[in-house]
Every structure is written in C-alpha cells, then in structure tokens.
Amino acid sequence: MKNLIFRKCNVIILILIIFSGCNQIKLTNEEAQKLIIKELSLPQKFAKNVSANWSSDADKLVKEGFMYRKEVGFIVLHYRGYITEKGKPFYLGKNGKDNELEDVFNFKTFDADFDAITGIAINKDDQTATVRFTLKPINVTPIGTLIEENINNTRNGELVFKKFDNGWQLAKDQNKGGTELVKEIWWGKNREN
C-alpha cells in the first residue's frame, strides 16, 4: 500500500513539474543578442549631410582640410564647396543640384553595432521580455569624430519582445524599422539625419 501511494505521489509531482515547465518563458543573452542584431539590422552605416554655407560642421571640415569653400554670387553671397583629397575617402556624394544656392555634401561618419546585453527582465503574465543593451560605434571616420558629438561613447537601448508560438518578436508598439530604432537610440527621437 505504501508503494502505491509513493508511486502516485511521484506521478503527481512529475505532472506538476511538466506543467509548471510549460508555463516558463526564457530568453538567454545569446538569443537576445541575435534578436537585437536582426531587428536593428546591425551594423548600421551612418552619414551626415554638411552644407557648405554658414555651417559649423563645414567650418570644422574646412579648418581640418577635408573641404574648402569659395564665396560666389553677386546679389546673394553664398559658398561653393569642394572636397579635398583628404576628404575624398569619406565623401559619399552631393545632395542637391549644382545650380542651387547651397552645396550639401554627404560624408560617412561611423557604423553602429551591437555591444552587449546589460539586462533581461521577463514578464511571465504578459509573455514579454524587456531587453536592455548597448550599441557601440565602429569604423568611426575622422569626419565623424569632428562633427558628431560623443561619437566614441556607447549608447543604451531597450527593446520589448513578445513570446509567440513561433518565437520572440518585437512588441507591437515598437514596430519600427531597424534604422529608425538605431537613430532613436543613438541621438534620441528629435534628431533628423
């Protein structure tokens, strides 16, 4: 009789373990890293537009020898910008037409890449995981160092993932493109790039 009771208890305990294990949701650092890299399309390449006219960024680039300017115009004075040999490796092209009053140049500045997971918080009731992480700058160009503030610092990010039958997916309220999410993490929501 004791054997039968002991076996029934073991069966009940085994059933409880199985059912409690089915309700467990888990997200490892490695899985979270893969999700972040995929959702943010990392690494992301960044560039910045620089106007040759009265721009502090252009002033910095002229001072350091990446470009030079010539004043042109009779009624409306403005600058025509020119890329030097030193600036050519980072020059991605000109934005705008040649007959406009403003030369706007596009320069490669840096790439943003995954750095580390800093924390994962699981909400079992909502079947969500809040993942905190850092992004780091890589391939920083000399132009990026000149015109981007705090370019060499890592940036803190946070994404919420929801568990579905087919795996983890970015939560609906964060459903933006990878580039837009990285820009928000890097510069905040107000920056236009």
Burial of residue 151 (number of CB atoms within 10 Å: 0-12, 13-18, 19+): middle
pLDDT at 79: 80
Helix, strand or coil for residue 95?
Answer: strand
pTM attached to this predicted model: 0.80
- In the 3-class helix/strand/coil scheme, how is 132-175 assigned residue by residue? EEEEEEECCCHHHHHHCCCCCCCEEEEEEEEEECCEEEECHHHC
DSSP code at position 188: -
Q: How does pLDDT run along the chain (193 residues), one tens digit per residue?
A: 555 555 555 555 544 444 444 557 899 999 999 999 999 999 999 999 998 887 899 999 999 999 999 888 777 677 889 999 999 999 999 876 555 667 899 999 999 999 999 999 999 999 999 999 999 999 999 999 999 989 999 999 999 999 999 999 998 766 688 899 999 999 987 655 5
Give percent helix, percent strand, percent coil of the chain, each to the nearest 5: 30, 35, 30
Contact between 143 and 184 (Cβ < 8 Å): no
